[in-house]
Chains A and B, each alone.
Chain A
């Protein structure tokens, strides 16, 4: 029955009209993904009136075509300008931009797009294998488990701090403090808002990422008076593709992380890439090059962020509960055209479920082809003189920040955070922990509160929590200690 449904789904999707709509979705999604601050959700929102007039199969092809690849083309601005194209491409900056500075932008693209496609296909495969156990899988995670996962994420601050763990912890705490600005998640009490309605919803993470990475790097480039690339040429697209296959096991592990984060509703795409990046640093040998343009630092987050889309479909298909804003909108369109995600779909419309899985696979391949074709010409941007590139980046940053809320105070917030970011860059303080603090701070607080309010302290005795805590302690404390001892012995 499964095979029959898979075949039906494939033949339905391979019709010329469906492929055309999917290609349209992929092209539009790629354009939007490459423009920072807009994001796939906005495109889906704009497309909704059109999408609800389509047939169920066509609606799946078009909207999932957009959704599946929004984390592919967003690598362009991340690598070339240190500007995150969307929430799921922040971690790519940490090694992607230094690669561009070394003249290896094309290599970074080659690696990123290859692993993005592989990750997307891996996510689709995991989704297929999970079909019989979708519902118990999603329900196995409650507020206490979410909290421990967030705690695990925050513990990455140490890993992301290089040789300055104390500075990293301080910066991470600053990030958590920024995340606390706004209405507190449990009672709606305003914190640190100084009667400014702008601050009610806190500081947008996109503004923080722009201020911490993009603006300081651009100021640095203007001061150096060079192009983005400071050396002539360090490797091309083919080399990047080879890198992806060379590090296939890292790609597979990070794709698994992406799927895992994806199926947990509420963690979000910005978490997936940071988890994967930290995992790469924790587990890979010869880690001294991370942060300085190591291709593995691009492979890890890029494998995860597309794989996440397959994972995010798990709660949507199991319960009709979307894992992201984009999927929430897609769900509305699905309901409008007569697709009713949820348990019935798995029994009555398995062909449509498989159609979704095929769209994930085919649209990822389409997007990869498109981006690889554009990789070389795009990489040339990194060789343009600073006085051409820098104004564009600065305007792009301000536009992306303004797109967060359409408020001039977004620009003020960007300038303040940019000043902090620039100081941190000049003083050699690690910057990624700040973004991680902002991304996870609110979630950590929310789930700690929910766990304690509901269960008192008894949630600490929950078997799943204990297992996760043991894993956390072993990865954060025990593993580094063992590595340290081995290194000492070897020395």
Chain B
């Protein structure tokens, strides 16, 4: 038996050490900085999701513009709205430019609403850049359109995952300022499930980027409003939905001014979308390394192959920002005053969608 036990332990040790050998990086060099090095790019999304796909696109182009052309390996760490990846990254990642992170707008929202699980501070991280595909479009069924402004009619049923989507703020603003007659049904899982429920007549309204075009073409509904591309506090229509007005335009058309608490809450709600995917390095990453990363990311954003792949895989709109531009936008997203936060929560509570 002792012989068998020792054989057991030997095989176990061999298997584990074999795995470790395979995972070890051995190549190190000094000049240029990234020569022979490997960057680990952690993503907070599951394989196949928007964050993961964006990270894969970045990983194929960024090394071309970094001195020394490093290798980039990806590590997915989904869950906890991004906090599962961000919390340890914030505390433990070495600030040497070899561990980077791509996260989504959801992580900004979590910090903004001061969720308990958030142990990170995005403001203190070093910002390489961001990439956005523009805001969602809200579609409404033909039957729903007839009831939208009639307070006595059966409310328009609005489907949502959990009321945390940026376009949910668009609908809540519509309720507050334009008198939209809505009833919220929460609990859908994906844009695909929205689309099927919409076709079956289970819901009259939802927001998305990809699924709307086909519904419009089939005559099942029409784009009611869109968030648009939000840059420097201005909204512009997406080029692929140029026929759908932004919320700002709808308000002006109805003779309302886009200001006041409701408008501020809307701005705070949709602002993270202008960042969409945030690319960061750990706090304390030296300026010299940051300069390399920011420059390379800027060039990546203009790279024709990257742009073409983005448009094919993510969507027709690409808005890339880098360095201080991202830092300023992020500070904007995270700096709403407590009065606005309280108002946002009140809007959610009224509609039964407060977490």
Contacts and interface: CB of A to CB of B under 8 A. Distances in A.
Interface of A: 41-42, 44-45, 48-49, 52, 138-139, 142-143, 183, 185-189, 195-198, 200-201, 222, 225, 265-266, 315, 319-322, 325-326, 328-329, 332, 335-336, 342-343, 385-388, 390-392, 394-395, 399, 405-407, 446, 449-450, 453-454
B11 interface: yes
B331 interface: no
B219 interface: no
A461 B162 CA distance: 27
Given A387-B8, A392-B15, A139 B199 contact: yes
Given A143-B197, A336-B313, A406 B202 contact: no
B67 interface: no
B80 interface: yes
Contact of A187 (B77, B117, B186): B186
A187 B309 contact: no
B209 to A, nearest CB: 13
B105 to A, nearest CB: 15
Contacts of B195: 319, 321
B240 to A, nearest CB: 13
A200 B80 contact: yes
A198 B83 CA distance: 9
Interface of B: 1, 4-5, 7-9, 11-12, 15-16, 19, 46-48, 52-53, 56-57, 60, 75-81, 83-84, 87, 116-117, 157, 162-164, 185-189, 192-193, 195-197, 199-200, 202-203, 211, 214, 218, 309, 312-313, 352-355
A315 B192 CA distance: 10
A321 B196 contact: yes
B12 to A, nearest CB: 4
A139 B5 CA distance: 59
B53 A332 contact: yes
Contacts, number: 156
B15 A41 contact: no
25 contacts: A41-B47, A52-B313, A142-B202, A185-B162, A186-B162, A187-B162, A195-B116, A197-B79, A197-B81, A198-B80, A200-B83, A201-B80, A222-B8, A319-B192, A325-B47, A332-B53, A332-B313, A335-B313, A388-B11, A391-B8, A394-B12, A395-B15, A395-B16, A450-B187, A454-B202
Nearest to A389: B11
A346 to B, nearest CB: 13
Contacts of A392: 11, 15
Contacts of B197: 142-143
A302 B329 CA distance: 52
A320 B79 CA distance: 26
A27 to B, nearest CB: 20
A201 B186 contact: no
A405 B84 contact: yes
Nearest to A146: B193
Most B C-beta atoms less than 10 A away, residue of A183, A326, A336, A405: A405
Contact of A405 (B77, B189, B353): B77
A42 B49 CA distance: 11
Most B C-beta atoms less than 10 A away, residue of A186, A325, A386, A394: A186
Nearest to A449: B187
A284 B151 CA distance: 58
A342 B185 contact: no
Contact of A395 (B12, B53, B80, B214): B12
Contacts of B7: 387-388
A454 B157 contact: yes
B214 A320 contact: yes
A395 to B, nearest CB: 5
A236 B79 CA distance: 44
Nearest to A38: B47
A336 B211 CA distance: 16
A407 B162 contact: no
Contacts of A321: 192, 195-196, 211
A325 B45 CA distance: 13
Nearest to A328: B48
Given A52-B309, A319-B199, A343-B218, A186 B79 contact: no
A391 to B, nearest CB: 4
A394 B77 CA distance: 23
Given A189-B355, A395-B12, A450 B79 contact: no
A391 B186 CA distance: 46
B312 A138 contact: no
Nearest to A448: B187
A188 B109 CA distance: 14
B48 A450 contact: no
Nearest to A44: B48
| The 8 nearest A-B residue pairs measured at CB | A197-B80, A391-B12, A336-B312, A186-B187, A321-B192, A188-B162, A387-B8, A200-B80
A402 B193 CA distance: 29
Contact of B313 (A48, A143, A188, A399): A48
A197 B84 contact: yes
Most B C-beta atoms less than 10 A away, residue of A320, A391, A392, A449: A391
